[in-house]
Structure 1
Amino acid sequence: MSRILPLTPRNLNAARHRAEHAPTPEVREAASRLLTEHELAVATGRPLHRARPRPAFRTSRPSPLGSRLTGFLVGALALLGFLFVATVLWAHATDVAETMRQQASAMRGM
């Protein structure tokens, strides 16, 4: 929602519930209609001039390096990690192949 609401959704439901069971018929009638948050707050007597805005919810902080540089650094790190893993696997495979060649030549000599 782009506008700041005077009531949170939970407080709005509580205000509607209290208004539905209010002792005066005017407030009960007002609660039976579909009211905006402002109308319901006025009907239930909430002091809107003292309402504090709800804090905006931010999903994440922007990167101090900028989105392009951050993406580049993450990509470079991923590439280096891939190259490291590929190098270790290649060294292991060549070592295993050399060991198997030595074993085969030793078995031929028996």
Structure 2
Amino acid sequence: MSRILPLSPRDLNAVRHRAEHAPDGASRDLARRALADHAFAVASGRALARARPRPAFRTSRPSPLGPNRTGFLVGALALLGFLFVATVLWAHVTDVAETMRQQASAMRGM
């Protein structure tokens, strides 16, 4: 049995089995001491010797242009969209005003 504490789940099951079913008292005492050491290691928060960090999953991929350029591009697209809508509205208003002027001048000539 390895002395790396806290015990792995497989080693912990083996030690518990030995603590209950060992043929002689010395083996049972040794297994009970290992269980006590394991409980102390868990309670004291000692890090596992074989522990590996959990894999970190990124929620989104970083922009290939960088974080600063992404905001700039979004702002530039919003500005271009606003300018497009303003230009279309200006053209429509100008066209309507010209049509109204023509109708007014035609009505004056009647």
Question: So what's the TM-score if we normalise by structure 2?
Answer: 0.49
Indicate the structure (1 or 2) with the bigger Cα radius of gyration. Answer: 2
Question: So what's the TM-score if we normalise by structure 1?
Answer: 0.49
